[in-house]
Amino acid sequence: MTPDLIAADEESIARAGELIARGLLVAFPTETVYGLGTDATNDRAVASIFEAKGRPSFNPLIVHLPDRQSADRFVHFNAEADKLAHAFWPGGLTLVLPRRRDCSLSLLVSAGLDTVALRVPAHKVAHALLLAARCPIAAPSANASGRISPTRAEHVLESLGQAASLKLILDGGPCAMGLESTVIGFPAAGPTLLRPGAIAREAIEAVLGRKLVDAAPLSGEAGRSSPGQLESHYAPEVAIRLNARDSRAGESVLGFGPDMPEVPGLNLSATGDLREAAAHLFSMLRELDAMGKPIAVMPIPETGLGEAINDRLRRAAAPRGKV
């Protein structure tokens, strides 16, 4: 049976909250991407997320909370994490922090690590759902493992429509940011950028008053300390060529800026606006993927949100089979 896809309103959110409290799966909108959520304190429920996504079980999940205060029950904050939560929550920032000894979150959300990733989403529907469910919600992006993250409810249906445990997809329209959250960890070396994302590095460094440490690009076994670093991750079916300054016969173009060539393709942002480009990235990749031709991607600057956009594009272009 395929899941119900229903516009998010008071009634559907209440129903979604009940499903989650019973340990079933619900897909819901956040300001970054759609999440596939369930009760983060329920081991069986969390296991069903891994099952539905076909995700390698060593990949830990983000736990969503309604507010900053709720986080103290689960993890130990440090002063810099506190500063970042104050500056960016609710919003597109995820903090990886040490679990408290009495942390009631399923050990599965940490996938064997002694830390847990937490985020307070800003989207009204996500917030209302957290209140309705009355439990922390574990939610990875609502796509099959290794595939493009969903920025619309229909993407979830395409990718996970066959997952038996997914009962309901709450439709909240397209995601405003369209890129997953930025993930920051706090190893001894200092605040570390584990995954570039919706909040630009520069904004985080401005709040901290110092540079972020870069997580080494990892793959394979070494990727286990931060599995989001695995190389091939956001994989369309077709081949992708980056930094393309021309288009070749048989390719479609993913453009950026005013100089889009007159060939089949889509432009992330005709005005060269990185925020707009981020919001369009995953849905345009899907559209071009469906055309079945290799994709030539025009150069995108590495500044601001460009860092996260280029990170996703490099993963989409990376050799397959590394996840």
Q: Under the rule (CB under 5 A), what is the footprint of Mg ion?
A: 141
CB of 166 to Mg ion, least distance (A): 16
93: contact with ligand TXA by CB under 6 A: no
Which CB atom, from 78 or from 225, has the smaller least distance to Mg ion?
225
Q: What span, in angstroms and rounded, lies between the C-alpha atoms of 293 and 128? A: 41
Which CB atom, from 137 or from 297, has the smaller least distance to ligand TXA?
137
Our measurement of the distance from residue 109's CA atom to the centroid of its chain's CA atoms, rounded to an integer in Å, reads 15
* Candidate residues 180, 251, 307, 311; the one interacting with ligand TXA per rule CB under 6 A: 180
Residue 117 touches which member of ligand TXA, Mg ion, none, C-beta under 5-8 Å by kind: ligand TXA
* Candidate residues 8, 40, 46, 117; the one interacting with ligand TXA per rule CB under 6 A: 117
165: contact with ligand TXA by CB under 6 A: no
119: contact with ligand TXA by CB under 6 A: yes
Residue 273, C-beta contacts closer than 8 angstroms, at least 6 positions apart: none
Residue 61 touches which member of ligand TXA, Mg ion, none, C-beta under 5-8 Å by kind: ligand TXA
Which CB atom, from 227 or from 255, has the smaller least distance to ligand TXA?
227
Which CB atom, from 113 or from 240, has the smaller least distance to ligand TXA?
113
Q: What span, in angstroms and rounded, lies between the C-alpha atoms of 269 and 87? A: 28
Burial string for 1-30 (b: 16+ CB within 10 Å, else e) reads: eebbebebeeebbebbbebbbebbbbbbbb
Give the strand pairing for 137-138 and 115-119: unpaired
CB of 320 to ligand TXA, least distance (A): 18
CB of 110 to ligand TXA, least distance (A): 5
33: contact with ligand TXA by CB under 6 A: yes
CB of 59 to ligand TXA, least distance (A): 6
| Of 132, 149, 151, 152, residue with least CA distance to 141 | 149
Which CB atom, from 141 or from 269, has the smaller least distance to Mg ion?
141
Which CB atom, from 23 or from 140, has the smaller least distance to ligand TXA?
140
CB of 233 to ligand TXA, least distance (A): 8
Phi, psi of 188 (to 5 degrees): -55, -30
40: contact with ligand TXA by CB under 6 A: no
Residue 246, C-beta contacts closer than 8 angstroms, at least 6 positions apart: 261, 296
195: contact with ligand TXA by CB under 6 A: yes
* Candidate residues 96, 254, 281, 285; the one interacting with ligand TXA per rule CB under 6 A: 96
Which CB atom, from 17 or from 227, has the smaller least distance to ligand TXA?
227
Give the strand pairing for 252-255 and 295-297: parallel
3-state helix, strand, coil in the chain (%, to 5): 35, 20, 50
Q: What is the residue-wise DSSP string for 37-80?
A: EEETT-HHHHHHHHHHHT--TTS--EEE-SSSGGGGGTB---HH
| Of 67, 65, 165, 50, residue with least CA distance to 112 | 50
Residue range at the interface with ligand TXA (CB under 6 A); choices 27-35, 39-47, 158-166, 297-305: 27-35
Positions in the binding site for ligand TXA (CB under 6 A): 30, 32-33, 35, 59-62, 94, 96, 110, 113, 115-117, 119, 139-141, 180-181, 183, 185, 194-195, 226-228
